[in-house]
Amino acid sequence: MLVNGARGNLISIRDRGLLYGDGVFRTFTAIGGHASHWPLHYLKLKHDCAALRIACPEVALLTTELRELLASHPDGVFKLMVTRGIGQRGYTPPTSSQTTHLWDISSLPADLPEWAIHGVKVRVCDLRLSTQPQLAGIKHLNRLENVLAAGESTDADIAEGLLCDAAGNMIGGVRSNLFLVIRGVLVTPDLARCGVAGVQRDRVMAWAKARGFAVQVRDITLDECSNADEVFLTNSVFGLWPIRELGENSWHQFPLASQIRLDLQGDQS
Detail the DSSP E strand segments found in 139-238: 158-165, 170-173, 177-182, 185-189, 215-218, 230-235
Q: Going by C-beta distance under 8 Å and a sequence separation of 6 or more, which residues neighbour residue 63?
A: 38, 42
The span from the CA of 199 to the CA of 112, in Å, is: 18
Min dist. Cβ of residue 17 to a copy of itself (A): 5
CA angle 190, 196, 199 (to 5 degrees): 100
**Closest CB to a copy of itself among residues 127, 228:** 127
Min dist. Cβ of residue 195 to a copy of itself (A): 13
Query: In the range 78-97, which residues lie near a copy of itself by CB under 8 A?
Result: 81, 84, 89-93
Tell me: does residue 71 bind a copy of itself (CB under 8 A). Answer: no
H/E element holding 129?
A: strand 120-129
Min dist. Cβ of residue 97 to a copy of itself (A): 12
The 202-231 site mask, x for binding a copy of itself (CB under 8 A), equals: ------------------------------
The span from the CA of 168 to the CA of 194, in Å, is: 12
Tell me: does residue 75 bind a copy of itself (CB under 8 A). Answer: no
Min dist. Cβ of residue 147 to a copy of itself (A): 5
Min dist. Cβ of residue 73 to a copy of itself (A): 14
Tell me: does residue 1 bind a copy of itself (CB under 8 A). Answer: yes
The span from the CA of 224 to the CA of 196, in Å, is: 21
Q: Going by C-beta distance under 8 Å and a sequence separation of 6 or more, which residues neighbour residue 72?
A: none
Min dist. Cβ of residue 216 to a copy of itself (A): 26
Neighbours of 15 (CB within 10 A): 21
> 211 and 203 in contact (C-beta within 8 Å)?
no
Q: Which of 5, 11, 43, 263 binds a copy of itself (CB under 8 A)?
A: 11
User: How many binding residues for a copy of itself (CB under 8 A)?
Assistant: 52
Binding site for a copy of itself (CB under 8 A): 1, 3, 9-22, 25, 52-53, 77, 81, 84, 89-93, 102, 104, 106, 127, 130-132, 134-135, 140-151, 166, 174-175, 194
